[in-house]
Structure 1
Amino acid sequence: MSRMWLCAVSLAILCALSLPTFGQTFSRILFDTDMESDCDDAACLAMLHALADRGEIELLGTMISAKFPWSGPCADAINTYYGRPDLPIGVPKGKAGIQQGSKYAEQVAKQFPHDCPLYDDAPDATRLYRQLLAAQPDGSVTILTVGDLTNLRYLIESEADEISPLTGQQLVKKKVAHWVCMGSRYPADLDPGKWGNFKPDAESTVKAIEAWPTKITFTGGGKFAELISTGKRLKELPQDNPVRRVYELYFGGNVKDRHSADQIAVMVAARGTGHPWKLVTQGHNHIFPNGTHQWEVETDNPRHQYISALADGVDPQEVIDSFNELMLHQPK
């Protein structure tokens, strides 16, 4: 057996051991969350930090899609707890955008260390998106949204500037490989009165999706996300964990299970659209002006696909366990 052959085998083993879980390609993720209305936003941010600690992803920034003053400080408190206090945070500064209020954001921001200012003094998300994207290799970024699409609408509409000679649409096409978008229920959500990420800022939803030039994977909520609910095991974490505290405040003192809508999107962004998901590729997501939507099979858009079910034969507990493993991760 030659020395050269042994070296080649050793190198192959080392390369295999360094690959991310399930063999997925390393992802650079820009995370966009409202961090106000629901508790699963905090859980999925904890998962992103766990994945970053494992070397599966690089977390480039945590954008805030809501105008609630304490959303940015709350996200920064979680980032700080997990050892990334300097992750960039931006907020939507234009006329579009909303705030729904929060059961937890202000309290968490006041109880845990952070240095992110309130909304009025926080950086402009559009400018920050442009700076972060311009600095990345071409075709290397995954954008993950689990809230309103206000920031992406402003990004796609942005003009060339001193940051980049490219318009927002050109910059996205050059730098973004994939947008994973949590929203809403599939194959359709036609009830304007039912809660969903597409509806609070419906105009931005329509404009962002319509103009987006790269692949979008929509992930569903509703019964699908309830099937793999998580959260109650956060009580196993220390009391000084901010994500545990988010769930306590959201449920009025007790840590309980909640749908895992945002966590599903995290796993798709980080580990891809294969196992354990059922991927639908034929058709397109038609968004109505009020933010309701319907998946239409007849007209295909090769950039649109969705996940709103587990693959045949997948045990939901398998997915729950994989979520819990990351949600219970403690910082280095």
Structure 2
Amino acid sequence: MITKANNENYSQVKGLIIDTDLGNDIDDSLAMLVAYSLESAGECNILGVAVNKGNYYTALYADILNTFYGRSELEIGIARDGKTPNDGPFARAVAESKVDGEYKYPRSRTVFEMPAVDMYRKLLANAADDSVVIVSIGFLTNLAALLESGPDSYSELSGAELAAKKVSLLSVMAGNFSDVAKDECGNAGAEYNIRYDIPAAQTVCRHWPGETVFSGVEVGKQILYPARSIEDDFSWAEHHPVVDGYNLFKKMPYDRPTWDLTSVLYAVRPGDGYFDISRPGRVEVDDAGITHFKEKPHGTHKYLIVNPDKINDVKTLLVRLCSRNPETAQVCL
């Protein structure tokens, strides 16, 4: 197995920060599994997890997943004004589930106090230039706060300056870039991750200083994670926190869109051709939360486009990444 300890090239791979509303939908949980497997393959170095859902159990569930996959040391930052503060359908239930009076899933901590913006500033300040990739699979609350942050004990640079200097790619699951997707989203086309914090989305789209690639709602909707995998491919674990969450989220069996998984996959493997890519341009978010893309030759924004011929290949890969047994499976993925 390739690990941080024995991979000579590990320090050369991109650092990955995951910003998630973990607990609102099950695809965030599956996206975390994709990241763990790609890190185990030596393709990225997960630096930390920022949670943008304003609920304690989001952070606790993130820690449970990290701990389950041997990453209890990862930083976890919390949003200052996290949206959707409700418990959600499964994170609390999984965190509080017990067997014989003991918690089913270990956790490394129960107190989460570090603001996500501080975590970002700390991690970016300590990173080499152009060495970090951020994947946003939830609201853009934390990234807007980073852009608006000023110099502090971590760095004399502003948040925008840190992002420009340290971050090579921002991979975002947000927006909709097809007429069909806009019609299906409702609310005049406002996609979920945009709709609940429109000002933050506007700030990031207007002011993020580097390359940004969007995976719109239409992408993950065309590539469904199969219920069969949840039922059959995780038998290596007597109990699994994502399998439990998947079963709680909706009545089984159901296939779920791979929205957030696509952004993680692209963030780590941007050159592998799993998706087609739009021409460069700019994404604008209006006051109703609708995303508008305008082609511009020197624009820093692009969006993913599903290649119908590759849907099955991408789905197969995502299933392999998610269901991989970290103790016995081969790392070559």
CA RMSD, 1 decimal: 2.2
Note the 1:229-244 alignment, pairs <5 A.
Answer: 229-232=224-227, 233-236=229-232, 237=234, 238-244=237-243
CA contact (8 A) 2:191 2:289 kept: no
Shift of 1:176: 0.4
Task: Note closer, same or farther for the CA distance 1:74–1:158 as it changes in structure 2 (3 Å cut).
Answer: same
**Counterpart AA for 2:133:** T
Match in the other structure for 2:165: 174
Q: Are residues 163 and 282 of structure 1, via their aligned partners in 2, closer, same or farther at CA, if it must alter by over 3 Å?
A: closer
**How far, CA to CA, are the matches of 1:140 and 1:101 in structure 2?**
35
1:266: which partner in 2?
264
The aligned counterpart of 2:195 is 199
Change (3 A) 1:304 1:249: same
1:246 corresponds to 2:233 = no
**Structure 1 unpaired stretches of 5+:** 1-16
The question of whether the paired residues in 2 share the 8 Å contact of 1:36 and 1:68 is answered with no
Using the size of structure 1 for normalisation, the TM-score is 0.86
Letter of the structure 2 residue corresponding to residue 269 of structure 1: A
- Report the CA distance between 1:18 and its aligned residue: 8.7
Q: 1:69 aligns with which of 12, 31, 56?
A: 56
In the alignment, is residue 322 of structure 1 matched against residue 317 of structure 2?
Answer: yes
Deviates more, 1:231-240 or 1:36-45: 231-240
Does structure 2 conserve the Cα–Cα contact (< 8 Å) formed by 1:28 and 1:140? yes
Structure 2 vs 1, CA of residues 19 and 271 (structure 1 numbering), >3 Å: closer, same or farther?
Answer: farther
- 1:296 maps to 294
**TM-aligned CA distance change 1:315 to 1:303, over 3 Å:** closer
Aligned to 1:284: 282
CA offsets 1:116-137 (integer angstroms, 9 cap, x no match): 436xx43111111100111111
- Number of the residue aligned with 1:81: 68
Name 1:210's counterpart in structure 2: 206
Query: Are 2:108 and 1:122 aligned?
Result: no
Q: CA deviation at 1:143?
A: 0.4
2:331 equivalent in structure 1: none
On the 8 A contact 1:279/1:305 being kept in 2, the answer is yes
Partners of 2:55 and 2:126 in 1: CA distance: 29
Residue-by-residue CA offset, 1:189-246 (whole Å, 9 max, x unaligned): 3743655211101011101221100100011223x32221014102221341111111
Instruction: Report the secondary structure of 1:130's partner residue.
Output: helix
The letter for the 2-side match of 1:266 is V
Provide the secondary structure at the position in 2 that maps to 1:197.
helix
Give the 3-state SS of the residue equivalent to 1:181 in structure 2.
Answer: strand
2:316 and 2:250 map into 1 onto residues whose CA distance is: 22
* Amino acid across the alignment from 1:306: Y
CA distance in 2, matches of 1:281, 1:273: 15
**Any idea what SS the aligned residue of 2:262 has?**
helix
CA shift digits 1:62-112 (9 cap, x unpaired): 11011022100011111110010111101111x464435411110122232
The answer for the alignment partner of 1:45 in structure 2 is 32
Do 1:231 and 1:247's aligned partners in 2 also have CA atoms closer than 8 Å? no
Q: CA deviation at 1:255?
A: 4.9
The Cα shift of 1:330 comes to: 1.8
Letter in structure 1 aligned against 2:216: G
TM-score of the pair, normalised by structure 2: 0.85
Q: Matched residues in 2 for 1:107 and 1:34: separation?
A: 16
1:137 corresponding residue in structure 2: 128
- Runs of 5+ in structure 2 lacking a partner? 1-6, 98-104, 328-333
**Is contact 1:48–1:266 with CA below 8 Å preserved after alignment?**
yes
Bigger Cα Rg: 1
CA contact (8 A) 1:247 1:256 kept: no
1:268 and 1:206 mapped to 2: Cα distance? 23
Rounded Cα–Cα distance in structure 1 between residues aligned with 2:72 and 2:230:
22
Query: Partners of 1:96 and 1:276 in 2: how far apart?
Result: 32
Selected match of 2:177 from 179, 183, 186? 186
Single out whichever of 322-331 and 288-297 deviates more from structure 2.
288-297
Whole-angstrom distance in 1 between the partners of 2:280 and 2:128: 30
